[in-house]
Amino acid sequence: MKRTNKLSWFFAFVLMFGINTTSFSQTLKEVFNDSESPLTYLGIDFSKTKLLDLGNADDIRNRLYGSINDLIVLEPKKFDLKGAFRNSNINHDFGAVSKNISKVNSTDILSTNMSDFDRFKESDIAAVVNALDLSGKNGVGLLFVMEAMRKVDKKGDAAIWVTLVDMKTKKVLMTERMITKATGIGFRNYWASTIKEVIEEINKKKYKDWRNKYGS
């Protein structure tokens, strides 16, 4: 083989290796500093959620949880993840959370114990992430872990953990608990509104805080 051909193959290999290395070692700093750094929206994980209200638990697991996840991507202007995270390169993949939700025992969804609203620690978020099937995925994933949804005296709110995870290692890179109010008509819209409020709060304040903390 001619020397020029050998060099061409060598530089091609170096280039490909460099690209792959970048994709495998994506950091929070890149996420918060590069508006085109790829980010995978994994959806809302309801696998450990407690609903402090009445409802049809089987229908909630089999249909309504999925419909809330679908709504987020069907109405991108209303649920503006790209704007909130200042990122034009966000794709979604709900496969892992859908698989997690399908394993939920419907008898575990409803609760009358108000302490279930404040039961998670960061180690619980790590356990939820560890249960996700992220095989073959690389880079950073965005996940909303729904801890609990409660409705008392016609007023509703939700405890949601905004989580960024290294999908290859399942390491939690960042997680923060947020509480938001629920509004709207119907189960899907009512509880999806809590995600909308989370996204709006990220856009208004949290993104700047996180960028100062993790992006510098």
Is 3 part of any domain? no
- Per the rule left: phi > 0, alpha: psi between -120 and 50, beta: everything else, 186 is left
Give the pLDDT score at 5: 52
pLDDT at 17 over 70: no
Give the pLDDT score at 146: 98
Distance CA 216, CA 203 (A): 19
**Tokens linked to 179:** 């509480």
Is 50 part of any domain? yes
CA-closest candidate to residue 86, choices 187, 174, 215, 184? 215
Is 103 part of any domain? yes
Is 10 part of any domain? no
Give ∠ CA 98-101-107 in degrees, rounded to 5. Answer: 160
Mapped onto helix, strand or coil, the DSSP state of residue 162 is strand
Is 2 part of any domain? no
pLDDT at 73 over 70: yes
Is 12 part of any domain? no
Distance CA 91, CA 190 (A): 25
What are the tens digits of pLDDT across the range 96-127?
999 999 999 999 999 999 999 999 999 999 99
pLDDT at 20 over 80: no
Mean pLDDT of 70-94: 97
Is 197 part of any domain? yes
pLDDT at 21 over 80: no
Mean pLDDT of 176-188: 97
173: confidence class by pLDDT, cuts 50, 70, 90: very high
Mean pLDDT of 140-148: 98
Is 16 part of any domain? no
What pairs with residue 164 in β-bridges?
A: 142, 174
Mapped onto helix, strand or coil, the DSSP state of residue 120 is coil
Give the pLDDT score at 18: 44
Percentage of the chain beyond pLDDT 70 is 88
DSSP 11-70: HHHHHHHHHHHHHHS--HHHHTT-TTS-EEEEEEE-TT-EEES---HHHIIIIIHHHHHH
**Tokens linked to 40:** 């995978």
Q: Are 200 and 162 spatial neighbours (Cβ–Cβ below 8 Å)?
A: no
Distance CA 180, CA 160 (A): 8
Give the pLDDT score at 12: 46
Distance CA 14, CA 80 (A): 37
Segments forming the whole domain that contains residue 158: 27-214
Q: What is the mean pLDDT of the chain?
A: 90
Query: Domain tally for the chain?
Result: 1
pLDDT at 9 over 70: no
